[in-house]
Structure 1
Amino acid sequence: MSKTQVKNTSLVDFIWRNADDLWGNFKHVEFGKIILPFTLLRRLECVLEPTREQVQETIKSLKDSGIDMDVILRQQTGHPFYNTSNYSLASLGATRTRQNLEDYIAQFSENARVIFEQFDFANTLARMDKAGVLYKICQNFATIDLHPKAVPERVMSNIYEHLIRRFGAEVNEAAEDFMTPRDVVHLAIELLLDPDDQLFIDNPGLIRTLYDPTCGTGGFLSDGMEHVRSLQDRYSIAPVIVPYGQELEPETHAVCLAGMLLKTLENDPGRDLSKNIMLGSTLSADKHRDEKFHYCVSNPPFGKKWEMDQAEVAREHKEQGFEGRFGPKLPRVSDGSMLFLLHLLSKMEDPSKGGGRAAIVLSGSPLFNGNAGQGESEIRRHLLEQDVVEAIIALPTEIFFRTGIGTYIWILSNKKPAHRKGKVQLINATEMYEAMRKSEGNKRRRVGENQTREIVRMYSEFEPGKQSLICDSTDFGYRRIKVLRPLRKKMVISEEGIAALAEEKAWEKRTEEQQAAWQDLFRENMDRTEGWHWMESFAKNAVKRNETLGKADVGLIKAFRKAFGVHDPELDPVVDKKGNIIPDDDLTDYENVPLGTDIHDYLATEVLPHAEDAYIDETYRDETDGEVGVVGYEINFNRYFYEYQPPRDLEDIDADLKAVEAEIAGLLSEVTE
């Protein structure tokens, strides 16, 4: 491949065409682990190229001086990293390519060298050398100009992510675990930072921190820094965003490190921002444990199990409670996305220090999964009762690469302005998108600049409208009450009842001999009708007379009552020895009563007209407030934005059918002619 070819094709296609030289020696699934680190290496090399000779001169003149070269070389390169090798990809030579390349990489400063260690690059190079393709690949990449002046940061980020998507697709991995489309990234950052524009104006040079606990390749962090950088013309001294993050996957973490090595802060150009990007699982090993941030943003994997983190998360929940990150009950292990909601809440700067805001991209399940009292509902309850949910924006479907499901952006804040206190804004942006000319996997739509501005405008104006609803936090809450009905059953011995015993576990535990003995006894009493309590005394007296029957324990008597019990609405309610009404388990029901509505008034208006003997179980109480009924919260977007579509007129439907019939008849006539 030549430089001319680079001009005649897209850069990403040119880079990926290196796969042509790997065919036969490597599997598809291995291409990404070769091509991606070479792309990163060439990017770093291009950045250092202008200062290469100066660095070499400095090394020659000061190598025996005992001076700390690290500080001097960073100053000379203008970046927090450097390379002291005499080699480049173009000058490795064809005879000792691997040894020279290994030396080249070893001469990077430690913060850059770790990038290639995370790719296990040394083993990859050995395999490439053995296969005889290493020199060819090095020469291919040496022809590409990846300097930031030739390939801007945002373009480079798109290239990284395209390569990762291509690699992820090859191995059938969930690429969406670490891929957030640029349009979604941009929208989330605009929603997160736009409300503070006036704060930036009033405080020139203000320094703010931005944290992503699932940072992937660093898209959110880069876009956040770009947001304030693009506003430089508004300020005498531009604001500064300092990025922090953590990533689970070593390869994507390495890409993020490379991106952060190339970033500089105007107020501190020598600062190594890659040191702020940690490797590991955020849920079980928070590497920023004692830190708080002004802004937090995340797109955790949708519907991913958290069983690998379960032991540590459960320990923190038990030992620290609300002093830790996971105070409410925990969600089911099948989906850990709501744990990241709690994590972000814990990482926001304290209100006493100015507070913090967060944006998180989630699927629809965190809005409604879990019943009252369960982990998911308790997490929603905590967030809403703490009044930290500012807004939830429903996004269009088909905007992610590997899934077409509906997604939502939650905006959290512990410094709500007065007009937002106690309120949650719901924005329906499901129809606000541009169709893409060429789909990328499941991504067939994008949120364009016009749509982004409109969504941010609705959020900023905080006014009710067709696509924007302002709700009270309590609108999403309810009390789940347990509604009982009196037991009105009698015992009727029948063949149907004997057959039904086969479905009862207590009956299955009996031996065949015991089962046969009980069946014979019941057939002796066939068609006998008695009261509810008769069965207990009948069974206990029977085992006293016949040892073959075994024991008449509580489980067996319960099985008999279930099999032979017959409902009779004309009977008086069955009571226990203390005169208390026994409820009928088969008729037990639950009702969700909106918060603010008296549960007894609700029973009178919504239940008693249909079941006049129903009553509320006063022992079924909430663990937190002790009141009757368990509190739950759910956020049902469809309920708030549903628009009734009346059915079409029968005349119109009939006309369409006749038109189709005529068309079919015409086609058939052409065939038969």
Structure 2
Amino acid sequence: MENQTYNQIVNFIWGIADDCLRDIYVRGKYRDVILPMTVIRRLDVMLEDTKEKVLAMKKTLDDAKVDNQWPALINEADVAFCNISPFLLKDLTSRPNKQKMKTDFIAYLDGFSPNVQEILEKFKFRNQIDTMIDAGILGSVIEKFISSDINLSPRPVYKDAAQTILRHPALDNHGMGTVFEELIRKFNEENNEEAGEHWTPRDVVELMADLIFMPIADQIKDATYSCYDGACGTGGMLTVAQDRLLTLAERRGKKVSIHLFGQEINPETYAICKADMLLKGDGDQAEHISYGSTLSNDGNPTRQFDFMLSNPPYGKSWKTDAEKMGGKKEILDTRFNTYLEGGEEMAMIPRTSDGQLLFLLNNVAKMKKGTELGSRIAEVHNGSSLFTGDAGSGESNARRYLIENDLVEAIISLPENMFYNTTQETYIWILSNHKEERRKGKIQLINATQMKTSLRRNMGKKNCEISKEQQKTIVKCFMDMEENEYSQVLSNSEFGYWKITILHPKRNEDGSLATDKKGKMVPDKSLTETEIVPFNYAGGINGFLEHEILCYAPDSWINTAVTKIGYDLSFEKYFHTSVADRSNQEILTELTALQNETQSLLSEILGGAINDN
């Protein structure tokens, strides 16, 4: 099906909102009706051919007094769901009064199988029925969706009985998914402040998919793979990843299948995700989407995945999750706690104001071990994950765990204003537990901040995109792993440091050193200071003490009991471009020009005032 046909369908459905809902709903609430009704109509047309068979089976099962009827009924429907009401949507267009319309429509909705009921519940669609009934628009909305001007069916529609003149092409599962995604996109554009919370721009998702698949594309086998997103929103990342892997496999003559798994905490976006899976015919995949918080109620605690992509919430409090997990100080979840080589426990729990690193640790905990490819992760974060947190803090400990276990392949800095509801700088983290030999012990930093194309029209705060060619450039930069103006390849140790505490002796009034009863120097607490010592400092801590401290304060020493290890990553350190200093003459010339301009303006003002008098 051509894009023009997709657009016609999307525009027709969009027009339903303008035609039927305009005076009843504010524009931002159109989606509350249109999205669930689109789902319902697609499900309805997929059940038309088997409706009588399902009802006959229902009667047989009732007569036999079978309790658990849904498996048999769904099997009879020949799709992943069914409806046991006596109605199809086309049966509900005309009713003698509002009450009859309401009763029959509710009976129709109640007839859907449990997997559809959950979607309707999360959409809160039943909350809209009274509004539409009272306004007298429910019948009009239904008539629009069953109109001969639109076809949401997997079967073609013809103009003639001989079926020789095509009116509408069939809309297959992939096509329906595309239509649904376009509707979501349009609604997100209408609600810019909300869009970025649930939807990652397609250009970013495509780039992330290529960054995890391209390095291992030639190693793809005839096999089944799994892909997971612990903050899946409407499921866009999962479906893009699925399409990308299938395409790469087909080009290499491989036959693969991919199982999608996800979790989402927002009820509406969860419903959209599950509906999208059902609309594409992926009944099993829809069952793999869990509802609730990934942090405090992990829907996949024992599963491991081949590929993981995610855009977790950043700058968002996870205090409620912390309380559900027993309080921040009492969290024992092994995803967020680890042990050092000496057996010392190391908590990786960040401040409750921002939980994005917890989503990354959740993914790391689900990495496959012992397989040929291991697992690959692509995750979007803001700058906080790179540097927030002092040595020994939860954030720093998380970075320490990731880097010391050699899991970080690369971090890519994206252009500003890439997302819909934030202007914050964003970064893609690429992780693997099966690094190529050349990447072991190293992290590649890629500065892609200038690889962008301006949009003709802003989408919220998003004013640019990464074009297809620019995506290829970034992926090539990653694959080549060469050092240039956009890429730096650095040792893991480059990002580590010791935070040491320097003690200075207390002195008596005569300037002599004060000693305790055992003859040891007594530290002067007022003179205590801390210093940062990079791991790569020549001679380490002792070298730093000798060259930076003792030469100025020979009686000083280090309190080794409180030395802490920290990790942070700074793009500015490696890609900072300094502005050339201006000469004194340039500055003087500019100041003189400004002075003359000011004097001229004053003369005009004062001269005008004199003339007026």
Task: Please state which band the TM-score falls in when normalised by the shorter chain.
Answer: 0.7 to 0.9
Q: Are residues 353 and 384 of structure 1, via their aligned partners in 2, closer, same or farther at CA, if it must alter by over 3 Å?
A: same
Partner in structure 2 of residue 442 of structure 1:
461
Matched, 1:642 2:582: no
Structure 2 stretches lacking a partner, 5+ long: 155-169, 339-345
User: Identity of aligned pairs, percent?
Assistant: 33
Equivalent of 1:377 in 392, 396, 418: 396
Deviation at 1:463, TM superposition (A): 2.0
The residue type equivalent to 2:10 in the other structure is L
**Do 1:32 and 1:164's aligned partners in 2 also have CA atoms closer than 8 Å?**
no
> Alpha-carbon deviations, 1:268-327, whole Å to 9, x = none?
xxx521000010111011111111111111111011111111134457986856x54433
Q: 1:603 aligns with which of 527, 537, 545?
A: 545
Determine the structure 1 residue equivalent to 2:81: 81
Question: Could you tell me which of 585, 593, 607 is aligned with 2:525?
Answer: 585
What secondary structure is seen at the aligned counterpart in 2 of 1:310?
A: helix
Q: Give distance in 2, aligned partners of 1:658 and 1:10.
A: 64
Verify the 8 A CA contact 2:249 2:255 in the aligned structure 1.
yes
2:412 maps to a residue whose letter is I
Q: Distance in 2 between matches of 1:614 and 1:655?
A: 51
**Separation (CA, whole Å) in 1 of partners of 2:597 and 2:186:** 46
Match of 1:624 in 2: none
Instruction: Give the AA of the match of 2:196.
Output: E
Secondary structure of 2:337's aligned partner: coil
Secondary structure in structure 2 of the residue aligned to 1:296: strand
Q: How does 1:24-173 map to 2 (within 5 A)?
A: 25-26=24-25, 30-46=29-45, 48=46, 52=48, 54-59=49-54, 62-66=57-61, 79-85=79-85, 86-88=87-89, 91-94=92-95, 95=97, 96-143=100-147, 144-146=150-152, 153-164=177-188, 166-167=190-191, 169=193
- 1:133-532 correspondence runs (5 A): 133-143=137-147, 144-146=150-152, 153-164=177-188, 166-167=190-191, 169=193, 175-200=195-220, 203-204=221-222, 206-231=223-248, 233-264=250-281, 272-313=284-325, 323-327=334-338, 328-329=346-347, 330-352=349-371, 354-488=373-507
Output the CA distance in 2 between the equivalents of 1:248 and 1:8. Answer: 30
Against the structure 1 CA distance between its residues 661 and 21, is the aligned structure 2 distance closer, same or farther, given a 3 Å change threshold?
farther
How many Å separate the matches in 2 of 1:636 and 1:156?
A: 40
Q: CA deviation at 1:210?
A: 0.1
Aligned partner of 1:498 in structure 2 is: none
CA deviation string 1:517-561 (max 9, x = no partner): xxxxxxxxxxxxxx5xxxxxxxxxxxxxxxxxxxxxxxxxxxxxx
Q: Contact (CA 8 Å) 1:399, 1:446: kept in 2 or not?
A: yes
Asked if 2 retains the 8 angstrom alpha-carbon contact of 1:224 and 1:241, the reply is no
Letter in 2 for 1:55: T
One-letter code of the match for 1:249? N
Go from structure 1 to structure 2 and tell me whether the alpha carbon gap of 1:409 and 1:317 turns closer, same or farther (over 3 Å shift): farther
Is this contact kept in 2: 1:82–1:109, CA < 8 A? yes
Cα distance in 1 for residues equivalent to 2:32 and 2:59: 39
Alignment-mate amino acid for residue 574 of structure 2: Y
- Residue 632 of structure 1 aligns to a residue in which SS? strand
CA contact (8 A) 2:501 2:530 kept: yes
Distance 2:306 2:373 in 1: 8
Task: Tell me how far 1:40 sits from its aligned partner.
Answer: 2.7
CA gap 1:408/1:7 in 2 versus in 1, 3 angstroms: closer
Q: How far 1:479 sits from its partner (Å)?
A: 0.8
Structure 2 residue corresponding to 1:630, chosen from 552, 556, 564: 564
Q: Is the 8 A contact 1:487 1:573 kept in 2?
A: yes
Distance 1:196 1:154 in 2: 27
Question: Residue 446 of structure 1: CA displacement?
Answer: 0.9
Give the deviation of 1:108 after TM superposition.
2.5
Residues 217, 248 of structure 2: 8 Å contact kept: no
Measured in 2, the distance between the counterparts of 1:187 and 1:10 equals 28
Separation in structure 2 between the aligned mates of residue 108 and residue 464 of structure 1, nearest angstrom: 58
How many Å separate the matches in 2 of 1:386 and 1:8?
A: 48
Supply the AA of the counterpart residue of 1:592.
I
| 2:512 corresponds to | 572
Aligned to 2:500, the other structure's residue is in SS state strand
SS at match of 2:463: strand
Instruction: Judge conservation of contact 1:16–1:35 (CA < 8 Å) in 2.
Output: no
Quote the offset at 1:451 in angstroms: 1.2
Cα shift readout 1:472-493 (whole Å, capped 9, x = no counterpart): 111100111101122247xxxx
Distance in 1 separating the partners of 2:326 and 2:368: 24
Alpha-carbon distance between aligned partners in 1 of 2:313 and 2:218, rounded to the nearest angstrom: 33
Cα deviation 1:448-485 (Å, max 9, x = unaligned)? 11111111111112222221111111110011110112
How far the C-alpha of 1:227 sits from its partner, in A, is 0.6
C-alpha separation in 2, matches of 1:16 and 1:277: 31
- Counterparts of 1:376 and 1:180, CA distance in 2: 24
**Matched residue SS, 2:50:** helix
User: In structure 1, what is the Cα distance between the partners aligned to 2:11 and 2:381?
Assistant: 29
- The CA deviation string for residues 604-662 of structure 1, in whole angstroms up to 9 with x for no partner, is 21233444443212332xxxxxxxx2111111111111122212445555666777788
Structure 1 residues 619 and 45: CA distance shift in structure 2, 3 A: same
Deviation at residue 600 of structure 1 after TM alignment: 1.9
Inter-CA distance 19–131: structure 2 relative to 1 (3 Å threshold) = same
Q: What is the Cα deviation at residue 39 of structure 1?
A: 3.1
Q: How far apart are the structure 2 equivalents of 1:106 and 1:32? A: 21
* CA 264–418 in structure 1, closer or farther in 2 if over 3 Å, else same: farther
